[in-house]
Amino acid sequence: MNGNGRGSGRGIADWYQHAGVRSRPRRTLDEEHEAGLRVFPAHLVPHLGHEAVTALGPAARDLLLAQHFYQYMQFTTHLETEVVNRGTVLIAHGRVDLDLTPNARLDAFKIYCDEGYHALFSLDLVQQVERALGIPALPYEFAPRLARLERTAATFLPEHGTLGRLLQVVVFETVVTRFLAQIPRDPTVFRAVRAAVDDHVKDELHHHAYFVRFFKELWASLSPALRRRVACAMPHLLTDCLRPDLAPVRAALQAAGLPTGAAAEVLADRYEEAALAATVREAGRHTLGLCETVGAFDHPEAREQLHLLGLA
- Contacting positions for Fe ion (CB under 5 A): 115, 118, 204, 207
Identity of the residue, 34 or 115, whose beta carbon is nearer to Fe ion in the bound complex: 115
Closer to Fe ion by Cβ: residue 103 or 254: 103
What is the closest distance, in whole angstroms, from the C-beta atom of residue 1 to Fe ion in the complex?
16
- Please measure the distance between the N-terminal and C-terminal CA atoms of the chain and give it in whole angstroms: 30
Q: Which is nearer to Fe ion, 74 or 305 (CB)?
A: 74
Tell me which residue has its CB nearest to Fe ion: 207
Q: How far is the CB of 194 from Fe ion (least distance, A)?
A: 16
**Smallest distance, Å, CB 118 to Fe ion?**
4
Q: Measured from the CB of residue 49, what is the shortest distance to Fe ion in angstroms?
A: 29
Nearer to Fe ion, 138 or 201 (CB): 201
Please say which residue, 90 or 277, places its beta carbon nearer to Fe ion: 90
Question: Cβ contacts of residue 133 below 8 Å, gap of 6+?
Answer: 39, 62, 66
State the minimum distance, in angstroms, from the CB of residue 200 to Fe ion.
6
Nearest-angstrom CA–CA distance, 73 and 183: 13
